[in-house]
Amino acid sequence: MREFIGPPSSIAILKGEGIATERLRPIERGQTLLVGNAQVSAYPAIHTPDSVGFLWSADGWKLYITGDSEFGPELEVLCGLEPDILFCCINGKWGNMDHEEAVQLTIMMRPRLVVPMHYGMFATNTVDPQLFLDALKNKAPHIQAMILQYNRDYLCERVGREVLLRPAS
């Protein structure tokens, strides 16, 4: 059975849409849940009062997803998490950090690979992801970055200290 994990405000919306209660898993900042063999930990995000970012840990991998978030001191708890892959919002409007702030967060978190997200969704709230890649290369050339193609599945693999994402067959 597929489950939905999110802060209480998101769970309330899903419940209101008719999603069965047994499929809903609320999580709040500072909490950790087990989902199959994965550990999911909720960290602060700066968007709505209960917004969270997620650290997924399983099989020796750590993936961090910022979700919607602005950049600010509340995110200092993310310093040194060192995820293998960071998925970071970059669009800069409607309560999200811009590409320059996303670079700051990336440097703080020290991932092996960062993937920009939350661009190209709305005509009035987007940014060219190449701006993020260029800014990151200028400020932290040692951190890998990759723009994913829409509607593609990817496989993760480690090669030495590098993390590679390659399209699944």
Q: What is the pLDDT of residues 28-78, one digit of tens each?
A: 999 999 999 999 999 999 999 999 999 999 999 999 999 999 999 999 999
CATH class belonging to 4-167: alpha beta
The one-letter code for the residue type at 63 is: L
* Sequence-separated (6 or more) residues with CB below 8 Å from residue 23: 1, 2, 3, 4
Question: What is the pTM for the complete model shown?
Answer: 0.93
Residue 76: per-residue pLDDT: 97
Burial (CB count within 10 angstroms: exposed 0-12, middle 13-18, buried 19+), residue 61: middle
**pLDDT (tens digit, 9 = 90+) per residue, 70-96?**
999 999 999 989 999 999 999 888 889
- Rounded Cα distance between 81 and 118, Å, is 22
The mean pLDDT of 138-164, rounded to a whole number, is 94
- Rounded Cα distance between 149 and 119, Å, is 12
- Token pair belonging to 139: 């400020």
Residue 126: per-residue pLDDT: 80
Residue 23: per-residue pLDDT: 97
pLDDT-derived band at 119 (thresholds 50, 70, 90) equals confident
Residue 140: per-residue pLDDT: 98
